[in-house]
């Protein structure tokens, strides 16, 4: 039985479920190059309400610049500073109440970032934080460029669980995401008719090639027929896109009382092929689609009305 996660604390504070933290004089968030003694975390981050995470540092910088404009903040936002510049593992930017952070590729990378980010939000005494992963993915049976809002993150056997090995034992955690937030995002998508947005299951794998049933890796031990049979089974189980972080993201955020969503654009339809052939311009525009949807949600939550501009 997965440990159930969704019980956000009434205070709206971010929960850390680790008794050892209270005994530590100082907490060094090594991969973020931040710490409780070296930085005044409540002053730096206490007013953060939205955290957006995504694989690439450039995407997350562009998102912070875009949000700067969308929120009507002073200046053009072009010179946003990397708060984690002292570490070359992750990049972090802020635009008003929005924090934008890169997490690299795959579960181990996002997991390290999330442990430190969640402790950061806890030390900073942030309240009522919404966290959203804005990513890219491979679609299943849907048009390239579609945006999928995840209702359930599932593993490569289509189960809603995240397995973490702890002291040699497998601990199974729930991958529930916030249903109201997913519906709110879907409602916001109706303001942006330029691309299809849908709700579906997202399959999270440990690998981009064999792990996602690709025939074009350096290793491949299965036939084209077996690949398609697997992907069709995934489709029949409700999976509409495939990426590499959603189960760990849902499990960690859920256990720590964060309202979380996963919004990924699809770069191709995996029932039609494996290689990503779209041009850089097309891929850049695709990456902006989840950003535009999140901007619409943030503007609505802040009472700023519909989105102003397409991201550039
Ligand atoms: O957030 P991104 O777009 O990096 O997420 C997906 C999943 C993998 O990390 C990566 C593979 O190309 O893209
Ligand atoms: O096919 C894809 C595309 C992007 N990211 C993935 O994990 N898979």
Please give the ipTM for the structure prediction.
0.99
Is 311 a member of any domain?
no
Is 50 a member of any domain?
yes
Opening angle at CA 99, ends 286 and 266, nearest 5:
20
Here the CATH number for the domain that contains residue 27 is 3.40.50.1580
Is 310 a member of any domain?
no
Q: Output the CA–CA distances (angstroms, integers) from residue 120 to 41, 97, 177, in the order listed.
A: 7, 15, 21
**Given the CA of residue 54, which atom of ligand 1 is nearest to it?**
1
Is 7 a member of any domain?
no
What pLDDT was estimated at residue 312? Answer: 54
Q: Which ligand is nearest to the CA of 59?
A: 1
Alpha carbon of 265 to ligand 2 centroid (Å): 10
Distance CA(89)–CA(97), nearest Å, equals 23
Opening angle at CA 250, ends 275 and 226, nearest 5:
35
What pLDDT was estimated at residue 7? Answer: 56
Q: Output the CA–CA distances (angstroms, integers) from residue 163 to 8, 129, 144, in the order listed.
A: 22, 25, 30
Among 245, 263, 294, say which to mutate for ligand 1: greatest number of ligand atoms within 8 Å of CB. Answer: 245
Return the residue whose CA atom lies nearest to atom 7 of ligand 2. 243
Q: Which of 25, 57, 259 is nearest to 123 (CA)?
A: 25
Along the 312 residues of the chain, how does pLDDT read in single tens digits?
444 444 566 789 999 999 999 999 999 999 999 999 999 999 999 999 999 999 999 999 999 999 999 999 999 999 999 999 999 999 999 999 999 999 999 999 999 999 999 999 999 999 999 999 999 999 999 999 999 999 999 999 999 999 999 999 999 999 999 999 999 999 999 999 999 999 999 999 999 999 999 999 999 999 999 999 999 999 999 999 999 999 999 999 999 999 999 999 999 999 999 999 999 999 999 999 999 999 999 999 999 977 665 555
Is 4 a member of any domain?
no
Number of domains in the chain: 1
Is 71 a member of any domain?
yes
Alpha carbon of 83 to ligand 2 centroid (Å): 28
Instruction: Classify the C-alpha dihedral 82-84-85-87 as positive or negative.
Output: negative
Among 137, 150, 245, say which to mutate for ligand 2: greatest number of ligand atoms within 8 Å of CB. Answer: 137
Q: For residue 214, say whether it is annotated as part of any ligand binding site.
A: yes
Alpha carbon of 262 to ligand 1 centroid (Å): 12
Is 251 a member of any domain?
yes
**Which domain covers residue 110, as residue numbers?**
19-301
Q: Which of 63, 91, 72, 120 is nearest to 263 (CA)?
A: 63
Give the binding-site residues of ligand 2, using a 6 Å CB cut-off: 136-138, 208, 212, 242-244, 267
What pLDDT was estimated at residue 308? Answer: 60
**DSSP characters over the chain:** -PBP-----TT-BPP---GGGGG-S--EEGGGTEETTTS-HHHHHTT--EEEEES-HHHHHHHHHHHHHHTT-SS-STT---TTTT-SS--EEEETTEEEEE--SSHHHHHHHHHHHHHHHHHTT-BS-EEEEEEEEEESSS-TT-EEEEEEEE-TTS-SEEEEEETTEEEEEE-B--HHHHHHHHHHHTT-TTS-EEEEEEEE-S-SSGGGT-SSSS---S-HHHHHHHHHHHHHTTEEEEESSHHHHHHHHHHTT-EEEEEEEEEEETTT-SS--S-HHHHHHHHHHHHHHHHHHHHHHTT--S--S---
Give the binding-site residues of ligand 1, using a 6 Å CB cut-off: 54-56, 105-106, 135-136, 208, 243-245
Is 12 a member of any domain?
no
């Amino acid at each position: 039985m997965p440990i159930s996660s969704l019980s956000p604390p009434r205070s709206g504070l971010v929960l850390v479920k680790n008794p050892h933290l209270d005994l530590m004089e100082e907490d060094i968030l090594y991969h973020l190059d931040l710490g409780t003694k070296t930085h005044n975390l409540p002053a730096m981050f206490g007013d953060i309400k939205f955290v957006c995470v995504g694989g690439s540092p450039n995407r997350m910088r562009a998102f912070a610049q875009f949000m700067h404009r969308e929120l009507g903040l002073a200046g053009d936002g072009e010179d946003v500073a990397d708060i984690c510049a002292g570490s070359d593992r992750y990049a972090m930017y802020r635009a008003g109440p929005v924090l934008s952070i890169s997490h690299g590729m795959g579960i181990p990378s996002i997991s390290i970032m999330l442990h430190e980010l969640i402790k950061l939000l806890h030390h900073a005494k942030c309240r009522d934080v919404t966290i959203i992963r804005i990513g890219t993915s491979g679609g299943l049976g849907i048009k390239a460029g579609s945006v999928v809002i995840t209702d359930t993150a599932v593993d490569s056997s289509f189960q809603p669980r995240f397995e973490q090995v702890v002291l040699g034992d497998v601990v199974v955690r729930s991958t529930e995401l916030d249903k109201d937030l997913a519906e709110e995002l879907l409602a916001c998508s109706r303001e942006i008719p330029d691309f299809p947005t849908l709700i579906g299951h997202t399959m999270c794998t440990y690998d981009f090639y064999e792990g996602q049933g690709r025939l074009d890796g350096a290793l491949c031990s299965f036939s084209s027929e077996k690949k398609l049979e697997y992907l069709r089974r995934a489709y029949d189980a409700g999976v509409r896109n495939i990426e590499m972080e959603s189960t760990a993201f849902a499990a960690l955020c859920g256990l720590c009382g964060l309202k979380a969503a996963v919004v990924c654009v699809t770069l191709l339809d995996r029932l039609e092929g494996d290689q990503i052939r779209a041009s850089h311009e097309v891929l850049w525009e695709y990456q902006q689609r989840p950003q535009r949807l999140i901007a619409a949600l943030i503007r609505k939550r802040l009472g700023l009305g519909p989105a102003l501009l397409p991201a550039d």
